[in-house]
């Protein structure tokens, strides 16, 4: 009677189960977070404001500094996203952003401002005293990294990898250091060092 083959050893080359065809573009290179930031889009606020007000001020700052035009449509999208599921992580990082619009596969992108973006635009606020998140009341927000990314299907993989990169970068040790940084320039320098 045929014997069952022995179990494969751990040294076998890792082969994954073949995934189906991916939606959107192929995996893109990750974006360096520090390259998206400049001192004029970094702030340090104390005492802690209300979350909604902070988001509004950051969107307006970003649209103003980067020439994105009327902040209203971006603001509406970011607040829409905030209602769906929390963008706060237990490290104290909050990641508000504009959501992906659900479209049928192959449907053309919209003509609204988020769909017309061609790159990611980001702003950062450090809240040394911590800010309450209405959705995650037990996690004080110490850093809010707000970004706007192109709302087009082919950018979604990059959007996801950007989310992962930012979350991975802002670990408790960096957040702790940022809370003590005296100026936006110091904040930017810390982030650059962490990314290296």
Which residues bind to another protein, rule: CB under 8 A? 1-2, 4-5, 7-12, 14-23, 27, 84-87, 89-93, 95, 99-100, 102, 128-130, 138-142, 156-157, 159-161, 163-169, 171-172, 175-176, 179
Q: Which is nearer to another protein, 38 or 161 (CB)?
A: 161
State the minimum distance, in angstroms, from the CB of residue 27 to another protein: 5
Query: Distance between CA atoms of 190 and 184, rounded to whole angstroms?
Result: 10
State the minimum distance, in angstroms, from the CB of residue 168 to another protein: 4
State the minimum distance, in angstroms, from the CB of residue 146 to another protein: 14
State the minimum distance, in angstroms, from the CB of residue 185 to another protein: 21
Q: Which is nearer to another protein, 15 or 118 (CB)?
A: 15
Which residues, listed in sequence order, are joined to residue 94 by a DSSP beta bridge? 88, 144
Query: Distance between CA atoms of 40 and 123, rounded to whole angstroms?
Result: 9
Please give the sequence-ordered ranges of beta strands (E in DSSP) within 114-186, or none if there are none.
Answer: 121-133, 136-148
Query: Distance between CA atoms of 194 and 164, rounded to whole angstroms?
Result: 15
Task: Name which of 137, 111, 105, 124 is nearest 175 in CA terms.
Answer: 124
State the minimum distance, in angstroms, from the CB of residue 24 to another protein: 8
Task: Return the structure tokens found at 105.
Answer: 């596969």
Q: Which is nearer to another protein, 65 or 195 (CB)?
A: 195
Q: Which residue has the tokens 């769909």?
A: 115
The 3-state DSSP class for residue 142 equals strand
Q: Which is nearer to another protein, 49 or 60 (CB)?
A: 49
Q: Which is nearer to another protein, 45 or 160 (CB)?
A: 160
Query: Distance between CA atoms of 42 and 147, rounded to whole angstroms?
Result: 12
Alpha-carbon distance values, 158 to 26, 120, 152, 164 (Å): 9, 10, 11, 10
Q: Which is nearer to another protein, 141 or 188 (CB)?
A: 141
State the minimum distance, in angstroms, from the CB of residue 130 to another protein: 4
């Amino acid at each position: 009677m045929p014997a069952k083959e022995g179990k494969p050893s751990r040294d076998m080359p890792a082969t994954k189960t073949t995934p189906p065809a991916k939606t959107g573009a192929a995996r893109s290179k990750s974006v360096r977070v520090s390259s998206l930031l400049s001192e004029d889009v970094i702030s340090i606020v104390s005492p802690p404001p209300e979350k909604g007000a902070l988001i509004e001020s950051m969107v307006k700052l970003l649209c103003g500094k980067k020439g994105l035009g009327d902040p209203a449509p971006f603001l509406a999208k970011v607040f829409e996203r905030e209602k769906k599921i929390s963008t706060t992580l237990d490290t104290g990082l909050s990641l508000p952003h504009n959501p992906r619009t659900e479209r049928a596969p192959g449907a053309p992108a919209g003509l609204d401002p988020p769909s017309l973006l061609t790159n990611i635009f980001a702003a950062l606020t450090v809240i040394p005293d911590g800010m309450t998140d209405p959705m995650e009341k037990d996690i004080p927000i110490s850093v809010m990294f707000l970004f706007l990314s192109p709302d087009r299907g082919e950018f979604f993989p990059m959007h996801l990898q950007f989310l992962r990169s930012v979350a991975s970068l802002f670990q408790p040790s960096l957040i702790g250091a940022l809370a003590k940084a005296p100026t936006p320039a110091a904040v930017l320098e810390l982030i650059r060092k962490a990314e290296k």
